[in-house]
């Protein structure tokens, strides 16, 4: 029997099929959106995530006239009071737009839940060195007085940063609010050393730019600025004992005076950040010879520095003597990487010196590094060297040497196995000038990888992300640093198991939020998910989705 089917029926059926597909897809997207929204609402938007915390379901308003009370031996510190004023400026930035008359009117008709912040600091010792206690507790009650308690002023600074991130401006009520209160936070860093390397030789960075970078570091609780001041391209720093050294600067307007350097160190200390200076020798030092050409093996062979002359080590000693007056941090970086010793072999007087001392160029490299270490130790510094020194002559290094990893994985396990301390900076994941390294690779990196013994894990001081300056200057350095540096900052501060293995559904939302916080605070952090770091937004959209 033949069944007649009108021609329009398949068309209608197909249209119904398409509609059902669209509805299914729409429902799936809606379900995903709801799940995503649920994930977002359940997250704690503090970066880096605290070690331990509990929260509630209340929303509290914060008085724009928030007052500070202090207690303990160190509560009245200038460092604490200055940090509170910075915190107020951040938290109440929008509230400050109201006229004083309107503000008074609002205060009369409004009752704020939080009107006081009490900071208790038990110690009055303000020395800032490696391993200083940065722990704190933060209690936000349902009403009344927020309390930050810390053993040192630097713990109090970290607590204030967390408090500032809990505070959010509500544009409807035009008040600052704290969500998910009450809060109880017990927090401390996972690693003592949480650094950012800044290269000011490849491109000069003005003082105000360096200060902005230091300020932004404090938002992510980083605590060491590794200042790679000098390299083969330029020597911008004033050295009073050898005043011609800074003739190696690009121009006479691209220099740092002793006063500038002191200003940077003091500015950083007020934010709980140490400054570790680096003088990279014997390689990466061609610029030294612009002021003292005798430091070059020859005019046509300009680095490594001339190992055969005592004058070379006199200059290093004078330089380190001057820098010791500026940089109080116990660690000093002596470089020691990428030393091509062909120049020594190819220069007659250096070659003769090698023969007279029965040395190969490899021996001379060791001799130079060890002599520089000896000078640094005599100035009461702990030497830090790039990993090539450890890879080449580990048994000869000063026992206090800190080995700085950069070439790849596997160095810190070898270093700590021999009793050395180590800083992790694997270039494959923590070199910020590698623009094709996405945030999740930065976040997933683990400084303790392949180190299982607790005694050896303690020798890993921490790590740092490195902002090498060949392709970064004042126009783009902050966009290159942030937000990827924040991914490493959480790895260095928060417990190892902060986020599950599938952290893209949790850490990503939180990092996007932190990027927006940076933007609101005037830090031009780039979008999180662009394939190439520091690339501008490719179209319209929310800060929280880019």
- Write down the catalytic residue from 30, 52, 259, 338: 338
Sign of the C-alpha dihedral, residues 91, 94, 98, 102? negative
Token readout for 443 is 């976040």
Burial string for 448-458 (b: 16+ CB within 10 Å, else e) reads beebeeeebee
Tell which phi-psi region holds residue 378, choosing left (phi > 0), alpha (psi between -120 and 50) or beta: alpha
Give SS3 for 58. Answer: strand
Taking residue 168's Cβ as centre, other Cβ atoms within 10 Å add up to: 16
Has 338 been annotated as catalytic? yes
Q: H or E element: which one contains 185?
A: strand 183-187
Distance CA 280, CA 303 (A): 12
**Sheet of 167-170, strand order:** 52-54, 183-187, 136-140, 144-150, 114-121, 58-71, 175-181, 167-170
Distance CA 312, CA 307 (A): 7
Distance CA 250, CA 373 (A): 29
Contact 237, 256 (CB under 8 A): yes
Contact 334, 383 (CB under 8 A): yes
DSSP-derived secondary structure for 335-346: ---S--THHHHH
Give SS3 for 175. Answer: strand
Contact 447, 484 (CB under 8 A): no
**C-alpha separations of 26 from 6, 76, 542 in Å:** 31, 58, 22
Contact 158, 128 (CB under 8 A): no
Distance CA 185, CA 537 (A): 35
**Nearest C-alpha neighbor of 220 from the set 267, 269, 158:** 158
| Residues with catalytic function | 338
């Amino acid at each position: 029997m033949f069944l007649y089917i009108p021609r329009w029926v398949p068309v209608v059926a197909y249209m119904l099929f398409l509609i059902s597909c669209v509805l299914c897809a729409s429902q799936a997207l809606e379900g995903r959106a709801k799940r995503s929204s649920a994930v977002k609402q359940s997250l704690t938007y503090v970066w880096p995530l605290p070690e331990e915390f509990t929260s509630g379901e209340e929303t509290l308003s914060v008085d724009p006239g928030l007052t500070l009370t202090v207690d303990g031996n160190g509560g009245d510190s200038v460092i604490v009071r200055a940090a509170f004023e910075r915190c107020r400026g951040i938290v109440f930035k929008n509230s400050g737009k109201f006229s004083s008359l309107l503000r008074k009117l609002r205060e009369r008709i409004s009752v704020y839940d939080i009107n006081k912040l009490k900071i208790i600091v038990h110690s009055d010792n303000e020395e800032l060195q490696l391993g200083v206690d940065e722990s704190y507790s933060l209690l936000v009650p349902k009403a009344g007085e927020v309390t930050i308690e810390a053993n040192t002023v630097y713990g109090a600074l970290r607590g204030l940063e967390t408090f500032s991130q809990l505070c959010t401006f509500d544009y409807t009520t035009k008040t600052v609010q704290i969500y998910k209160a009450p809060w109880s936070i017990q927090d401390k860093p996972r690693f003592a050393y949480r650094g950012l390397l800044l290269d000011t030789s490849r491109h000069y960075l003005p003082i105000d730019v360096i200060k902005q970078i230091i300020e932004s570091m404090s938002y992510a609780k980083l605590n060491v600025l590794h200042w790679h001041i000098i390299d083969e391209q330029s020597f911008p720093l004033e050295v009073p004992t050898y005043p011609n050294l800074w003739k190696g600067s690009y121009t006479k307007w691209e220099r740092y005076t002793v006063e500038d350097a002191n200003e940077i160190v003091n500015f950083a200390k007020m934010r709980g950040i140490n400054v570790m200076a680096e003088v990279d020798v014997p390689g990466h030092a061609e610029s030294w010879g612009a002021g003292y050409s005798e430091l070059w093996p020859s005019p046509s062979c300009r680095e490594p520095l001339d190992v055969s002359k005592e004058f070379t080590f006199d200059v290093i000693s004078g330089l380190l003597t001057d820098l010791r007056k500026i940089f109080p941090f116990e660690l000093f970086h002596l470089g020691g990487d990428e030393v091509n010793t062909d120049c020594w072999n190819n220069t007659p007087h250096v070659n003769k010196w090698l023969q007279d001392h029965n040395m190969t160029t490899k021996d001379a490299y060791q001799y130079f590094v060890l002599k520089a270490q000896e000078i640094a130790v005599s100035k009461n510094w702990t030497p830090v060297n790039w990993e090539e020194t450890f890879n080449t002559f580990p048994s000869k290094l000063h026992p206090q040497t800190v080995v700085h990893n950069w070439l790849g994985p596997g160095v810190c396990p070898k270093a700590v196995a021999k009793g050395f301390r180590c800083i992790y900076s694997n270039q494959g994941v923590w070199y910020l000038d590698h623009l094709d390294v996405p945030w999740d690779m930065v976040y997933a990196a683990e400084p303790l990888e392949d180190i299982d013994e607790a005694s050896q894990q303690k020798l890993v001081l921490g790590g740092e992300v490195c902002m090498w300056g060949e392709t970064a200057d004042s126009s783009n350095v902050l966009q290159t640093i942030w937000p990827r540096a924040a991914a490493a900052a959480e790895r260095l501060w928060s417990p190892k198991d902060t986020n599950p293995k599938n952290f893209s559904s949790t850490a990503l939302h939180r990092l996007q939020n932190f990027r927006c916080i940076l933007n609101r605070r005037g830090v031009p952090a780039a979008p999180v998910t662009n394939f190439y770091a520091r690339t501008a937004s490719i179209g319209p959209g929310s800060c929280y989705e880019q």
